[in-house]
Amino acid sequence: MLEHFRAGWSKLMHPLAAALIRMHITPDMVTWAGTIGTVAMALICFPQGWLWQGAWLVALFIFSDSLDGNMARQLGRHSEWGSFLDSTLDRFGDAAIFAGVALYYAGHGHSVVWAGIAIAAMTFGQITSYVRAKAESLGKEAKMGLATRSDRLLIVLVGVELTGLAESGIFAHLFVWGLPVALCYLTLAGLVTVGQRMTAVRRQALS
């Protein structure tokens, strides 16, 4: 879904990336700052019940995921280290978002069931990324699926935002189900995506 908008988003980020380069800020610094900010905001805001505020703050730091790559391209640095660092730190950010949601349900949300579903969604998301990485290490391709990383982040943050606004009284109470619906979809989509990628790798391995 969101993968189709990457080219346009990259052009939008180009001036900001150029400005950071002029300030002698490196792509690695942006990667670290984005991850630390994402982890901190997710694990501070969500467990406290600051859902709609936390969703915006997390989204702000996630933008750095586009910035570091854009900066690297402008500098002509396409290093294996940069790619490795970016992919590794992404896992921390993703896990923190779903862990924050699970902690919210274990506390302010008063639902062990939804906390468990949040953990399931996180688990399938991590496995989805692992399957792709392992496939590529074997010379195979496994990029397909219903729940790519960009899609997962968009859906969970929109869900958090809707539920947060509903609980604050800004949206109708019906929207309080935004986050539970998002978690159910991500859990099922993650399961399907893992199956799709495993099937694709098996087909390539046996062909």
Q: Is the pLDDT of residue 141 over 60?
A: yes
pLDDT(149) > 60: yes
Q: How far apart are CA 17 and CA 12, in angstroms?
A: 10
**pLDDT higher for 125 or 146?**
125
- Band (pLDDT 50/70/90 cuts) for residue 146 is confident
Per-residue pLDDT band at 145 (split at 50, 70, 90) = confident
Give me the catalytic one of 65, 90, 94, 151: 90
Active site residue 68: no
**pTM reported for the whole predicted model:** 0.89
**What DSSP character marks residue 145?**
S
Q: Are 182 and 156 contacting, i.e. CB atoms less than 8 angstroms apart?
A: yes
Interval 107-126 mean pLDDT: 95
Q: What is the pLDDT of residues 31-75, one digit of tens each?
A: 999 999 999 999 999 999 999 999 999 998 987 777 888 888 888
